[in-house]
């Protein structure tokens, strides 16, 4: 598969000119900036793809702003949080000669009462698509050593037997094949290396969680054209990193033992169950 | 037909509890992954956000996050304390109250998945013939303040202080880290991640070890004591703050001086609220009440204990219901029959 066909327009732009060094597939990198939560902005930076606009779909299909074209400038395309929040589908398309390349990703603005994004995800946006089934919801994300499903389709029709390639910024590569329904089950590789402890970052600081990037890509030829579509997202370490199941079970057992005296029948206990003090 | 399937208020409540257990534990898997974003995200029950299949989130995790990430941070930068900061907090409390308004603390007695799990364990304990450990009027007062301490320290103070940078960032959601519902509901979805103790830092490890030990204690204690965790649950105290504001009430009146203070309602109460047997009016609707309705079911006097909504009677105690109830189960919850026997024809009663 030729993945290097596109020249890096983003790389030519000052300030955002970094190609995704870990992959040659087209990707969209969302970056948050701003001092406080209220003033935070999201810039979407296209990588390995030439585009003047980022297409953005909000999950509220009835909204007049359900589809927006965000112009790409020096800092990328600015994605502001709409009133209804929710999940956003972002994509960039590049057509050069007989090659069509698409980068896509999902950006979630967590919001109470946001619409179910499933219908928006399933709406056809490009010829060749990779669609998460589902995308991780709030308090969840892609994590190493987990299986997640994606639908691969062309012009709205599933592509059974389609090959999907995975690359991660940690250096892993893998290949998966879609089933008869065009659904591919992707195993996220457990490829995080042990890190040195960062003091003071704590266990619940969303901004400091370990994270890596993954991209899924697939290619399909039709009508004399070659279509390459990629879907990228971030993922975290496996669920049991810095956790101990053995110690967890041990402390649970300890607690259980602590309650065992409550189970003992008292000798002088009358038939009615109401005696005895906790 | 309906009366055959649901002969007592207890049967209705049990059915609701099982349905709510599925919604709160498996709702996302049953109704769609994104259901969790769409119901309330401020449920007055321990519906755990760590459960990847849950249908909704508990108000307490939302509060901890907001105090940690918004209020605490904003208090440091005093000039940033604006409506923009408090609106999200007010929104959560507002949405919580929209739900709470209709059911009041029935969220504890009818909806909470951990409440249901403890009740199921207690039923198993009855069938295994384990003893019942109760708090007496003399010592119940020792445990009651703990739920307020849990709310004040684990839900309100530590997350705010973590947001201000005064205490470790790992104390941003300390209640969730010790909450047995986090472990119980995730285990029910065959997810063992939450029972594994976090070992990244000393604080994480301490909270995890404490939470696991408490979970283990609750699982065994529930076989021989009713609702052991509910008594110290900060959601019980949080809900108690709002219980007078809901039109859903437990009402006890000395109708024609019928109440003989027989004490059966006290025995039926899973929270050992002895006041229900001795008090009337506001004092009878105690802060520990979960509106399970057992006191009303087991009151042998007509209309003395009632569940009311906007003054309208939803359920009232009656001699008839009491007789039906005690045929199947003692006030303490022990079944009269060892095994469940579902019959659709009218069973012959030994008492008849």
What's the CA gap between A180 and B129, in Å, rounded? 54
Contact B204 A203 (CB under 8 A): yes
What's the CA gap between B265 and B294, in Å, rounded? 7
- Give the three-state DSSP class for A170: coil
> B82 and B31, same structural domain?
yes
Residue A77 token pair? 């395309």
> B282 and B150, same structural domain?
no
B positions 273-312 inside 8 Å of A (CB): none
Residues A104-123 have a mean pLDDT of: 84
Q: What is the pLDDT of residue A202?
A: 42
The answer for residues whose C-beta is within 8 angstroms of residue B103's C-beta and 6 or more apart is: B44, B110, B111, B246, B248, B291
Task: Give domain status of residue B333, yes or no.
Answer: no
* Residue numbers in B near A252 (CB within 8 A): 183, 195, 212-213, 215-216, 219
Q: What is the pLDDT of residue A272?
A: 47
Between the alpha carbon of residue B152 and those of residues A264, B44, B96, B237, the distances in Å are 35, 17, 18, 10
**Are B273 and B288 in contact, with CB atoms under 8 Å apart?**
yes
Backbone phi and psi for residue A241, each to the nearest 5 degrees, phi listed first: -65, 130
Q: What is the pLDDT of residue B186?
A: 95
Say whether residue A86 is in contact with chain B using an 8 A CB cutoff.
Answer: yes
Closest CA to B8 of B315, B337, B347, B343: B315
CB burial of residue A234 (10 Å; 0-12, 13-18, 19+): middle
Task: Give domain status of residue B22, yes or no.
Answer: yes
Backbone phi and psi for residue A150, each to the nearest 5 degrees, phi listed first: -140, 145
Out of B182, B203, B238, a domain closes at: B238
Task: Give domain status of residue B346, yes or no.
Answer: no
The CA distance from A94 to the nearest CA of chain B, in Å, is 32
Out of B200, B221, B238, a domain closes at: B238
pLDDT band at A273 (very low <50, low <70, confident <90, very high): very low
Interface test with B, best of A38, A204, A249 (most B CBs within 10 A): A204
Contact A262 B225 (CB under 8 A): yes
* Positions of E strands within B199-311: 248-252, 305-309
Q: What is the pLDDT of residue A265?
A: 78
pLDDT at A85 exceeding the cut of 90: no
Contact A255 B49 (CB under 8 A): no
Q: What is the pLDDT of residue B19?
A: 92
Task: Give domain status of residue B349, yes or no.
Answer: no
Say whether residue A277 is in contact with chain B using an 8 A CB cutoff.
Answer: yes
Residue A179 token pair? 């089933």
Out of B220, B238, B256, a domain closes at: B238
What's the CA gap between B43 and B106, in Å, rounded? 12
Show me where the domains of chain A are located: 9-246
Q: What is the pLDDT of residue B222?
A: 97
The CA distance from B312 to the nearest CA of chain A, in Å, is 32
* Residue numbers in A near B186 (CB within 8 A): none
**Are B272 and B134 in contact, with CB atoms under 8 Å apart?**
yes
Contact A265 B131 (CB under 8 A): yes
What's the CA gap between A216 and A233, in Å, rounded? 9
Regions of chain B where pLDDT drops below 70: 76-85, 337-352
> B324 and B176, same structural domain?
no
Contact A203 B38 (CB under 8 A): no
**Are B72 and B164 in contact, with CB atoms under 8 Å apart?**
yes
> B271 and B123, same structural domain?
no
Between the alpha carbon of residue A237 and those of residues A200, B186, B189, the distances in Å are 19, 19, 21
**Are A215 and A231 in contact, with CB atoms under 8 Å apart?**
yes
> B301 and B202, same structural domain?
no
- How many alpha carbons fall within 13 Å on the CB side of residue A239? 18
Say whether residue A37 is in contact with chain B using an 8 A CB cutoff.
Answer: yes
What's the CA gap between A148 and A66, in Å, rounded? 27
Backbone phi and psi for residue A68, each to the nearest 5 degrees, phi listed first: -135, 150
Q: What is the pLDDT of residue A220?
A: 97
Between the alpha carbon of residue B348 and those of residues B112, B327, B334, B344, B351, the distances in Å are 36, 11, 20, 12, 9
Task: Give domain status of residue B341, yes or no.
Answer: no
Per the structure, the complete domain to which residue B131 belongs is given by 2-238
Say whether residue B335 is in contact with chain A using an 8 A CB cutoff.
Answer: no
pLDDT for A198-241, tens place per residue?
A: 444 444 444 457 899 999 999 999 999 999 999 999 999 999 98
What's the CA gap between B259 and B253, in Å, rounded? 8
Considering only residues A94 and A12, tell me which one the structure prediction assigns the higher pLDDT.
A94
What's the CA gap between B100 and B22, in Å, rounded? 20
> B191 and B54, same structural domain?
yes
Of B183, B212, B217, the CB nearest to A259: B217
Say whether residue B32 is in contact with chain A using an 8 A CB cutoff.
Answer: yes
Interface test with B, best of A61, A197, A203 (most B CBs within 10 A): A203
Question: Distance from CA of residue A22 to its chain's centroid?
Answer: 17
Say whether residue B136 is in contact with chain A using an 8 A CB cutoff.
Answer: yes
**Are A15 and A42 in contact, with CB atoms under 8 Å apart?**
no
> B222 and B166, same structural domain?
yes
- How many alpha carbons fall within 13 Å on the CB side of residue B250? 30
> B104 and B68, same structural domain?
yes
Of B32, B220, B267, the CB nearest to A259: B220
What's the CA gap between A102 and A169, in Å, rounded? 19
| Peptide bond preceding B91 in cis form (omega within 30 of 0) | no
* Residue numbers in A near B298 (CB within 8 A): none
Say whether residue A271 is in contact with chain B using an 8 A CB cutoff.
Answer: no
Domain count for chain B, please give it. 2
Contact B216 A255 (CB under 8 A): yes
- Give the three-state DSSP class for A194: coil
End-to-end CA distance of chain A: 70
Crossing angle of the two packed helices B59-66 and B83-103, in degrees rounded to 10: 170
pLDDT band at A40 (very low <50, low <70, confident <90, very high): low
What's the CA gap between A167 and A174, in Å, rounded? 7
The CA distance from B194 to the nearest CA of chain A, in Å, is 9
> B267 and B153, same structural domain?
no
Q: What is the pLDDT of residue B283?
A: 87
> B60 and B8, same structural domain?
yes
Mean of all residue pLDDT scores within chain A: 83
Contact B330 A249 (CB under 8 A): no
Say whether residue B59 is in contact with chain A using an 8 A CB cutoff.
Answer: no
What's the CA gap between B146 and B139, in Å, rounded? 13
Backbone phi and psi for residue A162, each to the nearest 5 degrees, phi listed first: -70, 135
What's the CA gap between B60 and B58, in Å, rounded? 5
Of B143, B214, B334, the CB nearest to A273: B334
Say whether residue B215 is in contact with chain A using an 8 A CB cutoff.
Answer: yes
What's the CA gap between A146 and A152, in Å, rounded? 19
Q: What is the CA radius of gyration of chain B?
A: 21
Considering only residues B62 and A18, tell me which one the structure prediction assigns the higher pLDDT.
B62
Question: How many pairs of residues across A and B have Cβ atoms under 8 Å apart?
Answer: 187
> B194 and B228, same structural domain?
yes
pLDDT at A138 exceeding the cut of 70: yes
Say whether residue A4 is in contact with chain B using an 8 A CB cutoff.
Answer: no
Of B216, B220, B267, the CB nearest to A274: B267
What's the CA gap between A271 and B335, in Å, rounded? 14
> B264 and B133, same structural domain?
no
Interface test with A, best of B131, B204, B210 (most A CBs within 10 A): B131
Closest CA to A172 of A184, A158, A186: A186
ipTM value: 0.83
Of B70, B199, B215, the CB nearest to A255: B215
Say whether residue B189 is in contact with chain A using an 8 A CB cutoff.
Answer: no
Q: What is the pLDDT of residue B340?
A: 46
Task: Give domain status of residue B25, yes or no.
Answer: yes
- Percent of chain A's residues with pLDDT above 70: 79
Backbone phi and psi for residue B13, each to the nearest 5 degrees, phi listed first: -65, -40
Say whether residue B134 is in contact with chain A using an 8 A CB cutoff.
Answer: yes
pLDDT at A244 exceeding the cut of 80: yes
Pairing label, strands A225-235, A99-109: parallel
């Amino acid at each position: 598969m030729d993945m290097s066909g596109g020249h890096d327009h983003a790389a030519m732009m000052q300030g955002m000119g970094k190609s995704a060094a870990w992959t040659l597939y087209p990707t969209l990198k969302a970056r948050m900036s701003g001092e406080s939560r209220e003033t935070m902005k999201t810039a979407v930076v296209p990588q390995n793809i030439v585009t003047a606009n980022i297409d953005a779909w909000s999950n509220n299909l009835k909204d007049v702003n359900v589809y927006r074209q965000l112009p790409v400038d020096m800092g990328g395309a600015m994605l502001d949080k709409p009133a209804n929040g929710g999940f956003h589908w972002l994509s960039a398309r590049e057509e050069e000669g007989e090659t069509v390349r698409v980068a896509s990703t999902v950006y979630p603005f967590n919001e109470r009462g946001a619409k179910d994004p499933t219908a928006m995800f399933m709406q056809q946006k490009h010829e060749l698509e990779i669609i998460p089934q589902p995308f991780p919801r709030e308090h969840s994300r892609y994590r190493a050593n987990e299986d997640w499903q994606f639908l691969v389709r062309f012009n709205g029709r599933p592509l059974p037997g389609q090959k999907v390639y995975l690359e991660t910024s940690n250096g892993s590569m893998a290949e998966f094949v879609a089933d008869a329904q065009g659904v591919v089950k992707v195993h996220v590789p457990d490829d995080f290396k042990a890190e040195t402890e960062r003091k003071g970052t704590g266990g619940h600081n969303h901004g400091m969680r370990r994270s890596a990037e993954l991209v899924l890509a697939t290619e399909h030829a039709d009508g004399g054209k070659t279509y390459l579509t990629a879907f990228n997202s971030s993922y975290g370490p496996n669920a049991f990193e810095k956790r101990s199941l053995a110690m967890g079970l041990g402390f649970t057992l300890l607690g259980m033992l602590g309650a065992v005296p409550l189970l003992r029948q008292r000798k002088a206990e009358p038939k009615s169950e109401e005696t005895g003090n906790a | 037909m309906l009366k055959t399937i649901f002969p007592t208020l207890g049967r209705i409540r049990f059915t609701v509890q099982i349905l709510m257990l599925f919604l709160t534990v498996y709702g996302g898997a049953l109704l769609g992954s994104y259901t969790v974003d769409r119901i309330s995200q401020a449920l007055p029950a321990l519906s755990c956000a760590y459960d990847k299949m849950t249908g909704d989130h508990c108000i307490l995790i939302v509060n901890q996050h907001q105090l940690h990430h918004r209020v605490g941070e904003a208090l440091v930068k005093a000039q940033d304390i604006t409506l923009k900061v408090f609106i999200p907090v007010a929104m959560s409390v507002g949405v919580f109250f929209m739900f709470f308004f209709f059911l009041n603390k029935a969220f504890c007695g009818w909806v909470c998945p951990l409440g249901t799990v403890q009740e199921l364990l207690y039923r198993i304990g009855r069938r295994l013939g384990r003893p019942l450990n109760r708090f007496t009027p003399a010592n119940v007062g020792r445990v009651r303040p703990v739920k307020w301490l849990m709310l004040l320290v684990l839900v309100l103070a530590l997350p705010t202080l973590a947001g201000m940078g005064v205490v470790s960032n790992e104390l941003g959601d300390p209640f969730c880290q010790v909450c047995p519902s986090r472990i119980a509901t995730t285990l029910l979805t065959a997810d063992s991640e939450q029972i594994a103790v976090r070992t990244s830092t000393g604080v994480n490890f301490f909270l995890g070890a404490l939470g696991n030990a408490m979970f283990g204690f609750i699982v065994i204690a529930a076989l021989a004591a009713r609702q052991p965790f509910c008594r110290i649950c900060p959601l019980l105290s949080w809900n108690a703050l709002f219980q007078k504001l809901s039109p859903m009430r437990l009402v006890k009146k000395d109708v024609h001086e019928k109440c003989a203070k027989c004490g059966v309602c006290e025995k039926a109460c899973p929270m050992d609220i002895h006041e229900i047997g001795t008090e009337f009016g506001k004092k009878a609707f105690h802060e520990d009440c979960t509106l399970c309705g057992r006191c009303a079911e087991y009151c042998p006097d007509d209309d003395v204990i009632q569940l009311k909504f906007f003054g309208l009677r939803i359920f009232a105690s009656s001699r008839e219901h009491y007789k039906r109830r005690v045929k199947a189960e003692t006030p303490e919850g022990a079944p009269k029959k060892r095994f469940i026997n579902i019959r659709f024809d009218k069973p012959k009663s030994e008492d008849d």
